[in-house]
Amino acid sequence: MAYKYCTATNWGKNFFTHEERKNFYLAGHPGDVWVVGNNLFGDQWIGKVSGAIKTKEEAQAIVDGKIAEAQAAYDALPAEQQELQTRPVNYNLP
Amino acid sequence: MSEYKGIRGWKVQTVSTDPAASLIATGSWASGGSLNTARAGLGGAGTQSTALVFFGSNNPAPSYVGNTELYNGTSWTELADGNSIRGYLAGFGTSTAAIGTGGYSPGGDSALTESWNGSAWTEVGDLNTGRPNIQNANAGVSTAGLVWGGYNPPGTPTNSRTITESWNGTSWTEVNDLNTNRYDTGGNGTQTDAITVFGTTGAGFVPSGETWNGTSWTTVASGNTVRTGNALTGNSTSALTFSGAAPSYVGLTEYYNGSSWTELADLTTGRNLGTSSQAGTTSETLLAGGRDSPTRISVTEEWTLAPTFQQENLGQVYYNSTSNSFKVTQQSIPVGTWGSGGNLPAPMYIGTSCGTSNTSGMAMTGFSDPGITYSSAAYQYDGASWTTVASLNTGKNNASSAKNSPITTTLNYAGDGPGTYSATNESWNNTSWTEEADLNVSGNAATGFGVSSTSAGRAGGQSSVTPPAGPHFTGTEIWNGTSWTEVSDLAASRRYAGGVGTVTAALYIGGDTDNPAFPGGRYTARVESWNGTSWTEIADLNTGRYSLGTSGTQTSALAFGGGTPANTTATEFWNGTSWTELNDMATARRGGTGNGSSTSALSVAGESPASPPFIATTEEWNAGTANFTITVS
């Protein structure tokens, strides 16, 4: 597995540090889903942020759900505001 | 005269090697026990302390062996031979359960696969396509493996292959091909997570890397020194490649962190066609055998990291007795990274910002969830948290600001309110906002630049004034503290570009041309440079985008995030001549805002891939550190 998947709330400063970003892949996605490089440093970060481990399928379902919510919210916006945004599109986690 | 210790608090030390910038950079190679049979193009399996090597091409070349040797961390012991003799084969697994497959035998290209159970080799299912020069182009364990690429005989369409085969413990199945045909490439990983880099097509070296996700290969960053016959340990997010022929035999070692390659300590013996411990890690691996000339060698070297690591001090001067030079540890933009910053009190989208660093930033206006569509809010950041300061007199979206101004004196201008383009203009004195003279032309989604509330510029965007040059505005106006003056237009009309700089030296970066036929695409990579008089097109971004974040100056800038049209995390650095891709942000965003310099920047809020609602998270860019030789002219 190239990646591990977890959910964790970004509390802001030092949620992930510059040093950590040197040592493993990290990408945030809707629903507080984080895709984490599968190495020792990534494991340590998941522990630090008390990440709840998910399978890829579980993580994808969370992202899909958030995007569905966002699509509904976008569709409900007045046209003037829709013009300033883009309708969210579904995508696959790596 | 002051002493250095008195200035910085540290002594100038004499050291034999440069201080390490990270834990992985503490790694070094040490000698291990020599193979009993010198060889190249051998198969490998196991870890650093329980490594297995098998088969290979020995001296005098071309001759081949079936020998198997086991390493115990100190010395190699001969075990049972294979059923065949061959070299340039793939190998993977552990010291007690390994696979050797393919390669070249005296009879020609081999498809043979043999399975090792810790004491003997057994013939199992053949590859679908027999081929040599796949040493190190392999990943996995004895029940789930992967082999890719390889040599193709002369007279075939190419001298190298893209073919990838997957092993299930019994048989091989063809899966999706590599993007670039190659042989003598270095690779490692598992059946669902592998990486390969370098090699040759037969017609030329291949610089690129590719990662395998269990289904397909994706081209990733190229390594620094292209070569063939390199070895590799790791996976798609953390890998170490070492040795090779470039074309001379090298001991170069490079580390891949999931996005870019960094050079580390070299092997003592440069060579190619050796094998790594296929079940090793980037913390512990080895390289056994290979060739440092036409002669096959028996040398083993072991890679380990230092037991402890202490980050060097920025500004530390030291004397390197090996290179006989004074050096200093300085900031280095290419090794910079994004870390999380404090969250804004409220989400923000298509707001604007100013500031000088990631410890001194200001963000204002834009959309703010929930329900505030034209916000007048303003916030200041101190490197840890955001503080709400006095609101503007007029709330708006898509406003511009004097991007390079400090947070104590700036200007917020233009933008849009409900159904209108704005020409309004407000100045900030670090306490309150004051309405100033309007722009000559109302508009929004323009780029702002400038250094204070009395020195600012606005270029491009969209406006009720639509020039013949394109669907959007090309106009530029300069603010002198009293009034706006129209000056030379941009060459290409577009909105939602990024911008940095002063009223005499600025950049206009990317943007949305609203024109699918625009050269290079609607979301353009085009960049224009302002010299105080006119705009000139300069080198493009690597990735076209709009609604991006920017920081820096006309000669040293960052561009990050934006829409391509999909939201991106990509970060690029402008050194005054060209754009280079750097480490990405963690969160893809568009319609955020950025400020600071190229060594210390903020990426603030924006629209995530699932907005609305918008996001309030921020990221801080810090240049990394590297050691530079001090030169005295």
What does residue B564 show for φ and ψ, rounded to 5 degrees? -115, 0
Q: What is the pLDDT of residues B207-220, one digit of tens each?
A: 999 999 999 999 99
Is A39 within 8 Å of B566 when comparing Cβ atoms? no
- For residue B8, the model assigns a pLDDT of 64
Mean pLDDT of A27-55: 92
Q: Which of A10, A38, A80 to mutate to test the interface with B (most CBs of B within 10 A)?
A: A10
Size of interface A-B (CB pairs under 8 A): 137
For B609, which of A67, A73, A77 is closest by C-beta distance?
A: A67
Provide the shortest C-alpha distance from residue A53 to chain B (in Å): 18
Cα(B260)–Cα(B262) distance, rounded to whole angstroms? Answer: 7
A7-16, B328-337, B543-552, B594-603: segment of lowest average pLDDT: B328-337
- For residue B598, the model assigns a pLDDT of 96
For A39, which of B22, B237, B622 is closest by C-beta distance?
A: B237
Domain edges within chain B: 24-304, 338-621
- At residue B466, does pLDDT exceed 60? no
Best CA proximity match to B121, nearest among B111, B134, B110, B112: B112
Is B192 within 8 Å of A19 when comparing Cβ atoms? no
> Is position A88 within any domain?
no
3-state secondary structure of B258: coil
Cβ neighbours of B617 in A, within 8 Å: 10, 12, 28
* Domain B24-304: CATH architecture, name and number where available: 6 Propeller (2.120)
Mean pLDDT of B391-414: 96
- Whether the Cβ atoms of residue B625 and residue B331 lie closer than 8 Å to each other: yes
3-state secondary structure of A21: helix
CA B526 to each of CA B512, B537, B592: distance values in angstroms, whole numbers, following the listed order: 10, 7, 20
**A85 Cβ contact partners less than 8 Å away, ≥ 6 residues apart:** A74, A77, B349, B591, B607, B611, B612
Best CA proximity match to A37, nearest among B218, B259, B335, B196: B259
Nearest CA in chain A to B341: A13
Is B213 within 8 Å of A86 when comparing Cβ atoms? no
Q: What is the pLDDT of residues A9-40, one digit of tens each?
A: 999 889 998 878 878 889 999 999 999 988 87
> Is position A25 within any domain?
yes
Is A14 within 8 Å of B257 when comparing Cβ atoms? no
Q: To the nearest whole percent, how much of chain B has pLDDT over 90? A: 77
> Is position A66 within any domain?
yes
Query: Which secondary-structure segment (H or E) carries A82?
Result: helix A79-82
Number of H helices, E strands in chain B: 1, 57
- Whether the Cβ atoms of residue B425 and residue B479 lie closer than 8 Å to each other: yes
Nearest CA in chain A to B374: A81
> Is position A91 within any domain?
no
How buried is residue B13: exposed, middle or buried, by Cβ count under 10 Å (0-12/13-18/19+)?
A: exposed
Provide the shortest C-alpha distance from residue B567 to chain A (in Å): 10
- At residue B334, does pLDDT exceed 90? no
Q: What 8-state DSSP symbol labels residue A84?
A: T
- Whether the Cβ atoms of residue A32 and residue A22 lie closer than 8 Å to each other: no
- For residue B7, the model assigns a pLDDT of 64
Cβ neighbours of B384 in A, within 8 Å: 13
- For residue B468, the model assigns a pLDDT of 46
- Partners of B29 in beta bridges: B303
- Whether the Cβ atoms of residue B87 and residue B41 lie closer than 8 Å to each other: yes
Cα(B251)–Cα(B297) distance, rounded to whole angstroms? Answer: 14
- For residue B4, the model assigns a pLDDT of 62
Q: Do domains B24-304 and B338-621 have the same CATH topology?
A: yes
- For residue B2, the model assigns a pLDDT of 55
Mean pLDDT of B153-179: 92
Q: To the nearest whole percent, how much of chain A has pLDDT over 90? A: 59
- For residue B143, the model assigns a pLDDT of 97
B99-113, B401-415, B462-476: segment of lowest average pLDDT: B462-476
3-state secondary structure of B273: coil
Best CA proximity match to B291, nearest among B233, B253, B250, B254: B250
Cα(B525)–Cα(B359) distance, rounded to whole angstroms? Answer: 29
Query: Which secondary-structure segment (H or E) carries B396?
Result: none
> Is position A92 within any domain?
no
Query: Which secondary-structure segment (H or E) carries A47?
Result: helix A40-48
CA B426 to each of CA B400, B415, B479, B545, B595: distance values in angstroms, whole numbers, following the listed order: 11, 12, 12, 29, 19
Cα(B556)–Cα(B540) distance, rounded to whole angstroms? Answer: 14
DSSP alpha helix (H) spans, B192-274: none
Q: What is the domain extent for residue A36?
A: 3-82
**B452 Cβ contact partners less than 8 Å away, ≥ 6 residues apart:** B402, B405, B406, B409, B410, B411
CATH number for the domain whose boundaries are B338-621: 2.120.10.80
Is B622 within 8 Å of A84 when comparing Cβ atoms? no
Q: What is the pLDDT of residues B60-71, one digit of tens each?
A: 877 999 999 999
Provide the shortest C-alpha distance from residue B34 to chain A (in Å): 30
Pairing of strands B249-256, B238-245: antiparallel
- At residue B142, does pLDDT exceed 50? yes
Cα(B221)–Cα(B208) distance, rounded to whole angstroms? Answer: 6
Whether residue A94 is preceded by a cis peptide bond, meaning omega within 30 degrees of 0, is: no
Best CA proximity match to B610, nearest among B590, B594, B586: B590
Give the pair of three-digit tokens for residue B316.
């530390």
CA B356 to each of CA A10, B297, B404: distance values in angstroms, whole numbers, following the listed order: 25, 56, 6
For B342, which of A3, A13, A63 is closest by C-beta distance?
A: A13
Is A25 within 8 Å of B398 when comparing Cβ atoms? no
- For residue A15, the model assigns a pLDDT of 93
Cα(A8)–Cα(A16) distance, rounded to whole angstroms? Answer: 11
Provide the shortest C-alpha distance from residue B237 to chain A (in Å): 6
Domain count, chain A: 1
For B610, which of A14, A41, A66 is closest by C-beta distance?
A: A66
3-state secondary structure of B282: coil
Q: What is the pLDDT of residues B358-373, one digit of tens each?
A: 999 999 999 987 677 8
Cα(B122)–Cα(B101) distance, rounded to whole angstroms? Answer: 12
Q: To the nearest whole percent, how much of chain B has pLDDT over 70? A: 97
Higher pLDDT, B76 or B12: B76
Q: What is the DSSP string of B597-609?
A: -SSEEEEEEEB-T
Is B339 within 8 Å of A18 when comparing Cβ atoms? yes
